[in-house]
Structure 1
């Protein structure tokens, strides 16, 4: 049985693990490593330290399915809807730009529940706080090193973290990249932004007429270039009736603000965002907790050209790069990437059998 390491427990990594398990059940032993303390990647869900508040989605907020992807990825959408992981987004979202034929879905238990669903289905061995630092070829396998010390060997490796982090890896990867591949990877660009989660005590009412609002019109005298989106989490998810938990408010900064402040200390940025939030929503109740998260790699602005879904660095032993940088930054982009990785593994198995 081939040992496969998937680096990154985000959406692409979890989908890769799930699809490999379903298509190649008795041929692979799947292991997933992630450097964070929890799974989800940019679909992570955070919770206040006092556990009295609703959790907060500090990355992706909901999933938009175009008519085309709703058909081509119908089985995955049906699976998530039938299992209750996703529900239709049924609330007031001011400033939302609707696309013809598209549908929006929200995760009642938080966006990380989508990733956790696919990880459960994969049966993979999940190891958190496993930060990969280097890849070294050892004959027909890869020796993978991590910051916590020690190393393990795998027959195949799939890298799903942001491209700049892939390029920082030590070992033999750098020498195996062709000049063209390095140029393609060097050209990837991401936006950066900050997310602020404000947690409130049970019984607190957030007195706004919407569940979420986009602040895109910079000509609006009540707007700021700092903040681009605000949501009341339980209202967005349709779980506002849970009186045992307090509400939470999530604020996303604009890409322009993120670019200007990406190297700044999070505490300083938090102060700026709170000041701007007070201008937009004066009189907010006092939160019992606040979390500020920096998304250095938020959404892909420039993807890898001519590599739909993945880039194969080496075929034997197999080393593949995948993720939204090889497609586009949404649910269906990650699905497309994971499906392309599955195709690579199927082709590799066929070659071995010939």
Structure 2
């Protein structure tokens, strides 16, 4: 049984784990490592602190748009997610959203993080309890995953280096220690891939290095404002794109957007800044940027009630502006032992881009594993 490590528990990584489990089943043992305290990546759903009895909030991706072409080619994925209740059609208008012929918009009633958790659960994942993670969050995640043999999800596992050891890879962690795997898939943002120590830099061809160096991401900040039960907003929209602010680009009442019932908890408001604002303030601490965003928010919404709690998120790698040329879906750094890179930077920055990349990684990995000695 080949040991496969997937670095990154975002959408591409969780899809890779799920597809490997479905396609190869007992032939591989899959581990998923992520440096964060929770799975999801940019498909991130944030819970309010204990003192705020509020609705959860999506700080990353807000909704999913399926073009007619992808609705057809990825029909099985959409059908699965709709049947499982992970996706539902977006039934509220978003002000300022440009209309796209034939496209369908979907939201996640349990938050965008539920997409990642769904695919991890389908990989037969078992998630060890990270010390710094709250018991409530871990229990909720554990209830969503199967305990059968399959992928093991390890949070707070920050990969720092890769070393080729004959027919295997030795993977080092920031916290110390290392483990050996027969194949490695890197799904984190490209700049983080390029920061890895060890043998990766020597294995990349000149062309591959140039392609990875050319990848560009937008940056932005996101705020989640959690309100007490009974809080009332003076506006009726669920979400809107803002055109008269250099700071704020998008605002959403998260529960309205998802069609969620907040009778037992308060609403949550999500604010995304513009890309120019994010780039201008990128190197500042988010604690220093938060008051600037709040000041602009109160200019736009002067009657906003007082929140119970506020969370600020800096997305250094928000969306892909320049992807790897020709969008190949993956990049094979080494065929034996397999080392493959994937993610939206190798396709495009949305749900279907991550699906395309995961399918591409799966094809490359199946071919490489089939050619390994003893296969």
Give distance in 2, aligned partners of 1:317 and 1:54. 45
- Counterpart of 1:236 (choices 257, 265, 269) is 257
Match of 1:13 in 2: 13
- Relative to the length of structure 2, the TM-score reads 0.91
- Counterpart of 1:227 (choices 248, 255, 279) is 248
**Counterparts of 1:134-213 in structure 2 under 5 Å?**
134-213=161-240
Give distance in 2, aligned partners of 1:206 and 1:46. 21
Pair 1:56 & 2:65 matched = no
Match of 2:82 in 1: 81
CA contact (8 A) 1:197 1:292 kept: yes
3-state SS of the aligned residue for 2:209? helix
What is the CA distance between 1:268 and its match in structure 2? 1.5
Provide structure 1 residue ranges, at least 5 long, that are not aligned to the other structure: 218-222
CA contact (8 A) 2:234 2:303 kept: no
Provide structure 2 residue ranges, at least 5 long, that are not aligned to the other structure: 125-150
Pair 1:336 & 2:356 matched = yes
- Deviation string 1:250-300 (CA, Å, 9 cap, x unpaired) is 000000101111011111110000000011100110000000000000000
- Deviation string 1:82-129 (CA, Å, 9 cap, x unpaired) is 000011001121001121110011001100000000001012100000
**Counterparts of 1:18-33 in structure 2 under 5 Å?**
18-33=18-33
Match of 1:91 in 2: 92
3-state SS of the aligned residue for 2:111? coil
- Across the aligned residues of Structure 1 and Structure 2, the Cα RMSD in angstroms comes to 1.1
- Relative to the length of structure 1, the TM-score reads 0.96
Larger CA deviation: 44-53 vs 246-255 = 44-53
What is the CA distance between 1:164 and its match in structure 2? 0.4
Give distance in 2, aligned partners of 1:143 and 1:339. 25
3-state SS of the aligned residue for 1:70? helix
Give distance in 2, aligned partners of 1:305 and 1:133. 27
Match of 1:220 in 2: none
3-state SS of the aligned residue for 1:24? helix
Give distance in 2, aligned partners of 1:272 and 1:325. 30
CA contact (8 A) 1:106 1:237 kept: yes
Count of residues in Structure 1 that have an aligned counterpart in Structure 2: 347
Pair 1:291 & 2:311 matched = yes
